[in-house]
Amino acid sequence: MGKTITEKILGAHVGREVSPGELIECPVDIALGNDITAPLAIAEFERVGAKRVFDPERVILVPDHFVPNKDIKSAGQCKILREFAKEQNLKYYFEVGRMGIEHALLPEQGLVLPGDVIIGADSHTCTYGALGAFATGAGSTDLAAAMATGQIWFKVPESIRFVYHGQPGKWVGGKDLILYTIGQIGVDGALYQAMEFTGEAISNLSMAGRLTMSNMAIEAGGKAGIIEPDETTLNYIRDRAKRKWKIYHRDPDAVYSKVYEFNAAAIEPQVAFPHLPSNTKPISEVGHIEIDQAVIGSCTNGRIEDLREAAQIFKGHKAHPEVRLIIIPATQHIYQQAMKEGLIDIFLSAEAAVSTPTCGPCLGGYMGVLAEGERAIATTNRNFAGRMGHPRSEIYLANPAVTAASAILGRIAGPEEIADCGMRNE
């Protein structure tokens, strides 16, 4: 019986063939924590009497949720990371000014690679599956165990294959493909399964678009979101990789629990309505919905390609006078690149607040918390009630072009409504 990519990666790590449903104890290549989840893991690490992490080059800490520190409590959380990183001599601890949002930062730095097994105490760790890795979120106690032993247990997941035929149209990218998919299968449609994305549309998708798709696998309940590496993958990692990698391909007779096939050419830009990522509508069916805030950034859509797309819409335009526009480059390198390309000037001319990298408003932390009754459109990944602030606020999810157009018009709108915005081809 043939094996999926996920089954091959996990099997290689445990040294034998594995099958869905089997419980395994698996070595990890990377164990990741942030300023919210790692302090709990560090406390558990110390409680069980562990003295040293299994490998100071394989445990990575990234303060990104409440940084620069928003208050005394968040400062204390970050201090725990800083002191642990120093005590353990961790090679990859990313301080403010040298950091970024973790799931944009690690691929950029060449720290997550094809064939890896990666766990992170953050649900969007599944992002790295875009590189052909098995990457998944874990709890803080699981992170503690992995930091101490270099291993973690998994139930080997079944895999669902998603085939996207054809070429997406103008202004349709990875965010739209994954929102459409979640809308079709629901927020539990891939519960504890590996979502394997393939087809012509995926082959033609940029690495940024692929990372966006894998990032939101968890929004369908997925254990992982994985894309088979190809030349696009290799072009991305060749000059970044900090160590060797291995590429795994699915067998032609691999067994999947389900197979979905979609016509990507028929998919419009998507908008997810409150309060679920699955509550999606094509932009043509949105109607008149006024907004108070627009956020472009996050681990989902804060990459340079996302900022270029938004700048293409904003050039020569200003945000609506009743809309607060917040733009957050996902890493320091992306911020610097955006400056070199003149994107920051375009954003400032559009009257945006441009922030240093932070998760900030995505989780309702700071830098854009919503008041009661307010509406935001955002390139983030979740729109649960209260996610970005007051329980009676509303969040609409969309791609950067739709979010930018909406910021200009003061209502949810497609980029075609903005004159002279040109064309996009991801």
Q: Quick one: pLDDT at residue 1?
A: 81
* The length of the chain, given as a count of residues: 426
Beta strands in 297-360 (DSSP E): 324-327, 353-354
Looking at the fold, whether 378 and 285 belong to one and the same domain comes out as: yes
Looking at the fold, whether 201 and 53 belong to one and the same domain comes out as: yes
The answer as to whether 118 is a domain residue is: yes
Rounded to whole angstroms, the Cα distance separating 199 from 399 reads 21
Q: Are 299 and 332 in contact (CB under 8 A)?
A: no
Taking only the tens of pLDDT, the chain with its 426 residues reads 899 999 999 999 999 999 999 999 999 999 999 999 999 999 999 999 999 999 999 999 999 999 999 999 999 999 999 999 999 999 999 999 999 999 999 999 999 999 999 999 999 999 999 999 999 999 999 999 999 999 999 999 999 999 999 999 999 999 999 999 999 999 999 999 999 999 999 999 999 999 999 999 999 999 999 999 999 999 999 999 999 999 999 999 999 999 999 999 999 999 999 999 999 999 999 999 999 999 999 999 999 999 999 999 999 999 999 999 999 999 999 999 999 999 999 999 999 999 999 999 999 999 999 999 999 999 999 999 999 999 999 999 999 999 999 999 999 999 999 965 443 433
Q: Which residue reads 């949002």 in tokens?
A: 101
Q: Which of 224, 243, 262 is the last residue of a domain?
A: 262
The answer as to whether 425 is a domain residue is: no
Rounded to whole angstroms, the Cα distance separating 101 from 233 reads 21
Looking at the fold, whether 58 and 182 belong to one and the same domain comes out as: yes
Q: Which of 215, 235, 262 is the last residue of a domain?
A: 262
Q: Which residues contact 99 (CB under 8 A, 6 or more apart)?
A: 62, 63, 64, 67, 105, 331, 332, 357
Q: Quick one: pLDDT at residue 426?
A: 37
Q: Quick one: pLDDT at residue 424?
A: 40
The answer as to whether 422 is a domain residue is: no
Looking at the fold, whether 74 and 116 belong to one and the same domain comes out as: yes
The answer as to whether 137 is a domain residue is: yes
Looking at the fold, whether 215 and 298 belong to one and the same domain comes out as: no
Looking at the fold, whether 165 and 291 belong to one and the same domain comes out as: no
User: Can you give the CATH number for the domain in which 62 is found?
Assistant: 3.30.499.10
Looking at the fold, whether 241 and 288 belong to one and the same domain comes out as: no
Q: Which of 262, 278, 295 is the last residue of a domain?
A: 262
Q: Quick one: pLDDT at residue 419?
A: 64
The answer as to whether 426 is a domain residue is: no
Looking at the fold, whether 290 and 412 belong to one and the same domain comes out as: yes
Q: What is the pTM of this model?
A: 0.93
Of 206, 200, 210, 202, nearest to 166 by C-alpha is: 200
Looking at the fold, whether 65 and 177 belong to one and the same domain comes out as: yes
Q: Which residues contact 303 (CB under 8 A, 6 or more apart)?
A: 104, 208, 211, 330, 334
Q: Domain range holding 141?
A: 5-262
Looking at the fold, whether 246 and 364 belong to one and the same domain comes out as: no
Q: Which residues contact 73 (CB under 8 A, 6 or more apart)?
A: none
Residue 294's beta-bridge partner residues?
A: 325, 377
Looking at the fold, whether 99 and 215 belong to one and the same domain comes out as: yes
Q: Quick one: pLDDT at residue 299?
A: 96
- The DSSP H or E segment spanning 62 is strand 59-62
Rounded to whole angstroms, the Cα distance separating 235 from 21 reads 35
The answer as to whether 190 is a domain residue is: yes
Q: How many domains is the chain built from?
A: 2
Looking at the fold, whether 249 and 312 belong to one and the same domain comes out as: no
